[in-house]
Amino acid sequence: MKILLTGSQGYIGMVLSTMLLEQGFEVTGLDSDLYKSCTFGSNIPNVPFINKDIRDVVKNDCVGYDAILHLAGLSNDPLGNLDRKLTFDINYKASVNLAKSAKAAGVRRFIFSSSCSNYGAGGTKMINEKAKLNPVTPYGISKVMVEKAVYSLADENFTPVFLRNATAYGFSPRIRFDLVLNNLVAWAFTTGMVYLKSDGSSWRPIVHVEDISRAFIAVLKAEKSIVHNQVFNVGTNSDNYQIKQIAQIVKETVPGCSLKFAPGASADKRCYRVDCSKLPNTIPSFKPKWNAKKGAAQLYQSYKKIGLKLEDFEGPKYQRIGHIKFLLKKQLINNSLRWIAAEKLSYV
């Protein structure tokens, strides 16, 4: 099966492309490669990719593929808040154009990487895919808009599937430190302190990047009849935590660290607990393999092996918003986040 994977050079894309290759899929990536200087460690997968902005995709780019797995976009709330219009241009308009181009090109399955951020201020009760969507950021709003628009494109020859991923964690060659578990383990490893910027009371579902990848592969392999135009939460019910519980797991994982709250820390308005049972109930072959404790241990060992330093963790290289602002400051990209120059970057 021939797969086009957008966002192939990013945090999830690097892991997913490796797992797709291991499963015998023929994979081509598509990515503008904004994070090409953000490699953490090694083991970059050997996947050919089209160096192209997702906003520039046309029908011919989609011809010949059996499925498109769509990850590309501004990947979190801080990036989404940088420029609201730009967020909708990239995350919404470009995604819908991609889906329409895919359908016109005869692609039969379109799997969209959505987000549990769609639930936004969802409260403390467990909610499933039928819950009211209540996004509170441009990022979350853009994801909801894509789901609604692409849902209407479904027909007997075009099968969209929507994966609402919980907050990701875990090692990737394109690591992100702006994800809660990755961030807290990095704080603990580099400073001896688990540092919380909120009061830790908000609930958040989390999921390992490899289990997100397993969800994509499970949906890709599944019979059309059980996934056609369906929405699935991606995670495990046991990995719904208050942020302060995640902090405690990190404290128990990283030797000798202590827990500290930022001065004036308050509750995060993003609060939701998510029921993720629909996906394994629908596709029993989907079996997540990670939990927060195992993930924290994996991150700690990877930081130790690579020798993560505080200046790396706090610098722009592995923080998505920090890296984009760095590229803008150096005038390597313009305000539309398109490359102006592509020379080798230095963070010194």
pLDDT at 85 over 70: yes
Question: What is the residue-averaged pLDDT of the chain?
Answer: 93
| Position 117 in a domain | yes
Report the distance separating Cα 99 and Cα 11, nearest Å.
Answer: 22
Reduce the secondary structure of 210-272 to three states and give it as a string.
HHHHHHHHHHHHCCHHHHCCEEEEECCHHHEEEHHHHHHHHHHHCCCCEEEECCCCCCCCCEE
| Confidence at residue 83, expressed as pLDDT on a 0 to 100 scale | 86
| Position 252 in a domain | no
Report the distance separating Cα 299 and Cα 292, nearest Å.
Answer: 10
Task: Give the position of tokens 């945090």.
Answer: 11
Structure confidence at residue 106 as a pLDDT band (50, 70, 90): very high
| Position 201 in a domain | no
pLDDT at 264 over 80: no
| Confidence at residue 346, expressed as pLDDT on a 0 to 100 scale | 53
State the CATH number of the domain containing residue 133.
3.40.50.720
User: Which structural domain, as residue segments, surrounds residue 46?
Assistant: 2-174+208-237+274-289+322-329
Number of CB atoms found within 10 A of residue 58's CB: 13
| Position 141 in a domain | yes
Tally the domains of the chain.
1
Closest CA to 94 of 161, 31, 27: 31
pLDDT at 344 over 60: no
| Confidence at residue 280, expressed as pLDDT on a 0 to 100 scale | 98
Q: What tokens does 202 get?
A: 């908000």
| Position 187 in a domain | no
| Confidence at residue 292, expressed as pLDDT on a 0 to 100 scale | 97
Number of CB atoms found within 10 A of residue 3's CB: 26
Cα–Cα separations (whole angstroms), residue 250 to 207, 274, 306: 15, 22, 19
Average pLDDT over residues 49-73: 97
pTM, two decimal places: 0.95
Look at 51-60, 118-127, 229-238, 281-290 and tell me which has the smallest mean pLDDT: 118-127
| Confidence at residue 124, expressed as pLDDT on a 0 to 100 scale | 81
CB under 8 Å to 163, separation ≥6 — which residues?
111, 112, 113, 114, 212, 215, 216, 219, 232, 234
| Confidence at residue 287, expressed as pLDDT on a 0 to 100 scale | 95
| Position 112 in a domain | yes
pLDDT of 140-169, one tens digit each?
Answer: 999 999 999 999 999 999 999 999 999 999
DSSP state of 29: E
| Position 60 in a domain | yes
What values do phi and psi take at 4, rounded to 5? -105, 120
Report whether 218 contacts 163 (CB < 8 A): no
| Position 79 in a domain | yes
